[in-house]
Amino acid sequence: MPIVRLDKAVTLAGLTRSEARRAIAAGRVRVDGLPVRDGAMQVRPEQVRLDGAPPVDAGALYIMVNKPAGVVTATEDRRLPTVLDLLPPTLRRKGLGPVGRLDRDVTGLVLLTTDGQLAHRLISPRWKAEKRYRARCEGRLTEAEVGAFARGIELSDFTARPARLSLLEAGDDGSVADVMLTEGKFHQVKRMFTAVGHPLTALSRLGIGPLELDPDLGPGEWRHLSEGEVAALKEACRL
User: Catalytic amino acids?
Assistant: 103
CB of 82 to ligand URA, least distance (A): 15
Are the beta carbons of 64 and 21 closer than 8 angstroms? Answer: no
Q: Is 187 in the site for ligand URA (CB under 6 A)?
A: yes
What angle is formed at CA 157 by the lines to CA 154 and CA 158, rounded to 5 degrees? Answer: 50
Binding to ligand URA (CB under 6 A): which residues in 100-129? 102-103, 106
| 71/106 with CB nearer ligand URA | 106
- Which listed range, 33-41, 90-98, 169-177, 183-191, lies at the site for ligand URA (CB under 6 A)? 183-191
Say how far apart CA 138 and CA 93 lie, in whole Å: 41
Is 164 a binding residue for ligand URA by CB under 6 A? The answer is: no
Number of residues engaging ligand URA in binding (CB under 6 A): 9
**CB-based burial label for 189 (10 Å; 0-12, 13-18, 19+):** buried
Q: Can you tell me the distance from the alpha carbon of 84 to that of 98, in angstroms, rounded to the nearest whole number?
A: 9
CB atoms within 10 A of CB 140: 15
**How do 107-113 and 164-171 pair as beta strands?**
unpaired
| String marking each residue 203-222 x if it binds ligand URA according to CB under 6 A | x-------------------
Q: How many other CB atoms sit within 10 Å of the CB of residue 154?
A: 12
At its nearest, how many Å lie between ligand URA and the CB of residue 193? 8
Q: Which DSSP helix (H) or strand (E) runs through 32? A: none
* Min separation Cβ 160 and ligand URA, Å: 11
Min dist CB 50 to ligand URA, Å, is 38
Among 189, 211, 236, 237, interactor with ligand URA by CB under 6 A? 189
Q: State how far Cα 172 lies from the chain centre.
A: 35
Apex 54 CA angle, 56 and 11, nearest 5: 50
Among 5, 8, 164, 190, binds ligand URA (CB under 6 A): 190
Q: What are residue 143's phi and psi, to 5 degrees?
A: -60, -20
Minimum CB separation of residue 101 from ligand URA in Å reads 6
Q: Which one, 93 or 190, has the nearer CB to ligand URA? A: 190
Residues forming the site for ligand URA (CB under 6 A): 102-103, 106, 184, 187-190, 203
